[in-house]
Copies of this chain bind each other. A is one copy, B any other.
Amino acid sequence: MAGNSQKDKKLVTEITAMDEDFAKWYTDIVKKADLIDYSSVKGCMIIRPYGYAIWENIQKILDAKFKETGVEKVYMPMFIPESLLKKEKDPVEGFAPEVAWVTHGGNEKLAERLCVRPTSETLFCEHYANIIKSYRDLPKVYNQWCSVVRWEKTTRPFLRSREFLWQEGHTMHRTAEEAEARTVQMLNVYADFFEKELGMPVIRGQKTDKEKFAGAEATYTVEALMHDGKALQGGTSHNFGNGFAKAFDIQFLDSDNQLKYAYETSWGVSTRIIGGIIMTHGDDSGLVLPPSVAPIQVVVIPVQQHKEGVIEAASKLADTLKAAGFRVKMDDSEQSPGWKFSEYEMKGVPLRIEIGPRDLAEGKCVIVRRDNREKSFVAINDVTTAVTEGLENLRAALYEKALKNREDRTFSATNLEELVNIANENSGYIRAMWCGDLECEMKLKEVADVTSRCMPFDAEAISDKCVCCGRDAKKLVYWGKAY
């Protein structure tokens, strides 16, 4: 069971320490854990099998949750004609600087250039205008899983890339109230997913007008705090009112025989979730994956595997766990146990089971948790129960640890000097009251380099004055630096 320390160290030194250079630690992990590879397509990433398997698990869980709320799946074209994109002016102004333009098909110049979708509101609206005629056609609750393109200047794997995978839900409703309810419903689906499945505590709240989606009446967000104290927008849900419906003429005949405009929402999460998982749970030995999305939940490693019966016992153990529904790998390759321990720690496998001749003689095995390296000696007959508990305990511990990090990094400020001092000395959230004026929001960016992350729902005021201008405050805002 022992003997892993030397090889461990060798591998571990290949990752930059978190405290030394968090950004480098991050890129080391995405490469060394085989999540991504770079290609000659600048700003785009190759998602490798291990990274893609995480994304597939995310998709599976969210897709089932979407389905429970009546979501149907579709696929829209990846191109948007320039004239269609321009039909609603707010989003165009938001996206124009960062779309990729197709100008030629084959050897011919196109009559009208096409952008590669940065998001598909316009296409969905055009389709909805075709298919929505009566109140009986409502609601329409569609989602698509696809890739989108935004021509970013600076890119980082998962966090900001020119092409990324995501889901975009676009819905149409009969009333403003129904649209609002759907906007909140989907935000809660995201929040529950982050907290219960990924062990990532999030703040639910509303974006300021400056930070909301261009064209939306309201943007709701779930914001997570990373290990280094920077915020990550986990997912957003937008209520568009009937602005797009008016631009695209999406009218339906209501039961009172009146033509009315429909109300729209959209909501999405992307592969940046994977970046969030890494930066919330990872450590100096590599990834730490929440069991719900881990491609391998349990790795079984035979020790002294040349000894009689060891590989057989390890296989049997793995088969038992597979039959119980866990994602399990048994690794009897020729590498040393120590090398394997490091490798699967790097890959963030939640539980490792070691089994050697001595364990075998005693009818036992050793279970090691990835997050805290806690070892338990477990009777082979009890392994299914022990794994069930071990995964659940790990999940709960990940959440608690992330919550503590957030609490330790959440500060409050009631005047500008205080806020600037906190921002200079710490990395995390600063809770402070705001008058609602863009000017104050801009000033905080200028003097403290923070942006508004969100205005939490049902937040209690901590003062009655704006932290910036001292005038009457309207909202409690979480300020911070963000990915």
Question: Is A435 part of the binding interface, using a Cβ–Cβ cutoff of 8 Å?
Answer: no
**How far, in angstroms, from A398 to B107 measured CA to CA in the complex?**
43
**B-binding segment of A122-130, A249-257, A359-367:** A122-130
Q: Residues of A at under 8 Å CB distance from B?
A: 37, 39-41, 44-49, 52-53, 55-56, 72-81, 83-84, 96-107, 113-114, 116, 123, 126-127, 130-131, 142, 146-147, 149, 151, 162-163, 165
Check if B74 sits within 8 Å of A39, measured CB to CB: no
The 6 closest A-B pairs by CB, nearest first: A44-B77, A105-B151, A49-B72, A47-B75, A101-B104, A41-B77
**Residues in chain B near residue A147, CB distance under 8 A:** 75, 78, 146
Instruction: Tell me how far the C-beta of A152 lies from the nearest C-beta in chain B, rounded to whole angstroms.
Output: 9
Q: List 5 A-B contacts (CB under 8 A).
A: A40-B84, A46-B123, A52-B75, A100-B102, A102-B103
**Is B52 in contact with A127, judged by CB distance below 8 angstroms?**
no
Question: What is the bound-complex CA distance between A147 and B145, given in angstroms?
Answer: 11
| CB atoms of B79 and A56 under 8 A apart | no
A46 touches B127 (CB 8 A): yes
Bound complex: CA A72 to CA B99 (Å): 31
Residues of B within 8 A of A45 (CB): 77
Q: Is the CB of B100 within 8 A of A104?
A: yes
Contact among B46, B81, B96, B142 with A40 in the assembled complex (CB-CB below 8 Å) = B81
Q: Which of A72, A98, A100, A130 has most chain B Cβ within 10 Å?
A: A100
Question: A31 CB to closest chain B CB, in angstroms?
Answer: 11
Write out the residue numbers on chain B whose beta carbons fall within 8 Å of the beta carbon of A81. Answer: 40-41
Find the B residue at minimum CB distance from A103. Answer: B103
Q: Which residues of B contact A107 (CB under 8 A)?
A: 96-97
Q: Which residues of B contact A78 (CB under 8 A)?
A: 44, 78, 116, 147, 149, 163
Residues of B within 8 A of A74 (CB): 46-49, 52
Contact, CB under 8 Å: B116 / A41: no
Closest Cβ of chain B to A167, distance in Å, is 13
Measured CB to CB, the closest approach of chain B to A34, in angstroms, equals 9
Q: Are B72 and A127 in contact (CB under 8 A)?
A: no
Residue of B nearest to A79 (CB): B41
Nearest to A41 among chain B residues (CB) is B77
In the complex, A116 Cα to B113 Cα: how many Å? 14
Minimum Cβ distance to chain B for residue A356 (Å): 25
Using Cβ atoms and an 8 Å threshold, which residues of chain B touch A39? Answer: 76-77, 123, 126-127
Name the distance in Å between A335's Cβ and chain B's nearest Cβ.
11
Known contacts A41-B84, A46-B123; 16 further A-B pairs (Cβ under 8 A): A39-B76, A39-B77, A41-B80, A41-B81, A46-B74, A46-B76, A46-B127, A47-B75, A48-B74, A49-B72, A96-B106, A98-B105, A99-B106, A100-B105, A102-B116, A103-B104
- Taking a contact as CB atoms under 8 Å apart, the answer to whether A79 and B49 are in contact is no
Tell whether, in the assembled complex, residue A73 and residue B98 are in contact, meaning their CB atoms are under 8 Å apart: no
Chain B residue numbers with a CB within 8 Å of A48 are 74
Residue in B37, B75, B80, B163 whose CB lies within 8 Å of A46 = B75
**Contact yes or no, A163 B77, CB < 8 A:** yes
Distance (whole angstroms) from the CB of A55 to the closest CB of chain B: 8
- Report B-chain residues with C-beta under 8 Å of the C-beta of A100: 79, 102, 104-105, 114
Most interface-central of A53, A79, A130, A151 (chain B CB within 10 A): A79
In the complex, A149→B116 CA distance in Å?
12
Q: Are A131 and B37 in contact (CB under 8 A)?
A: yes
A79 contact set on B, CB distance < 8 A: 41, 44, 100, 163
Q: Residue A101 contacts which of B49, B75, B77, B102 (CB distance < 8 angstroms)?
A: B102
Per the bound structure, the CA–CA distance linking A35 and B146 in Å amounts to: 19
Most buried by B among A46, A55, A72: A46
**Who on chain B is nearest to A161 by CB?**
B77
Q: Are A103 and B101 CB-contacts (below 8 A) given A47-B75, A74-B48, A165-B75? A: yes
If A45-B77, A46-B74, A52-B74 touch, whether A37 touches B151 (CB-CB below 8 Å) is no
Shortest CB distance A142–B (Å): 7
| Complex Cα–Cα for A146 and B48 (A) | 15
Task: State whether B49 touches A151 (Cβ < 8 A).
Answer: no
